[in-house]
Chains A and B, each alone.
Chain A
């Protein structure tokens, strides 16, 4: 019997490395993601079944039980699950009207850390990323160069950039350039 090659999972940005003396760039591990839309009255039921409180203030996020919910708009959230499972089922079990779309494989993420992280991202992002305006836990959909990204501050000197996988090559390349500039 012929030997069939075992299918192998090839992640976007496999083997990519970049950064400089002040910025570290690395591809994030795969994660489960849903794009969630719901009305204000259904937020508490969805929060209960997802196990994380959906934030209702602009530019805020909430984390619990390995899941992070990011406020994108008044009725829109991006929910990320590190264990890659259960988000769609959890949303369906809420029993309230909502729209959940599995975007786990549409997005990938780049982790940016180090004292030059802000400067590297500001290479292509027009937002004010100083700690007073964009504190730890803040998140926002914005532009990075020519691509739309969701940016989240995970630490004082650490960011997570969610980007569509086909754009990840571009975003990583531009971040690498930014990282070099930040070290000058």
Chain B
């Protein structure tokens, strides 16, 4: 079971208490009626879906109820950092990034074992 650090409860809690809430740091357009359909689609529908480091919103729905931001590695599922909602995008602490990259090399991915690389 994953433990996720809630920045409001200030401790690690079980993943069961949390819900994923989409990509983080997407700013709503100031005047949404004035933007074109393409710009609206970009804001509303299109997400990066990055492999590796992603910034996501999570909600401690069965705890304090608060939304917060998390930096997560989608390959290893490791949470690198969490911080309060409303803060600007935080840089990853260097030590944990190095650990995450080291971890990544040991993770068996589908591409490595089943895909073209087999």
Contact = CB atoms under 8 A, between A and B. Distances in A.
Chain A contact surface mostly = strand
A77 to B, nearest CB: 11
A143 B17 CA distance: 7
Contacts of A143: 14, 16-17, 62
Interface residues of A, number: 13
A176 interface: no
Interface residues of B, number: 14
Interface string B59-76: 000111110000000000
A142 B17 contact: yes
Interface string B33-60: 0000000000000000000000000000
B71 to A, nearest CB: 22
23 contacts: A58-B8, A58-B10, A58-B64, A59-B9, A72-B64, A73-B8, A73-B63, A73-B64, A73-B66, A74-B8, A74-B64, A76-B65, A126-B16, A127-B14, A140-B9, A140-B63, A141-B64, A142-B62, A142-B63, A143-B14, A143-B17, A143-B62, A148-B62
Given A58-B9, A141-B64, A143-B62, 18 more contacts: A58-B8, A58-B11, A59-B9, A73-B8, A73-B65, A73-B66, A74-B8, A74-B66, A126-B13, A126-B14, A127-B13, A141-B63, A141-B65, A142-B17, A142-B62, A143-B14, A143-B16, A148-B62
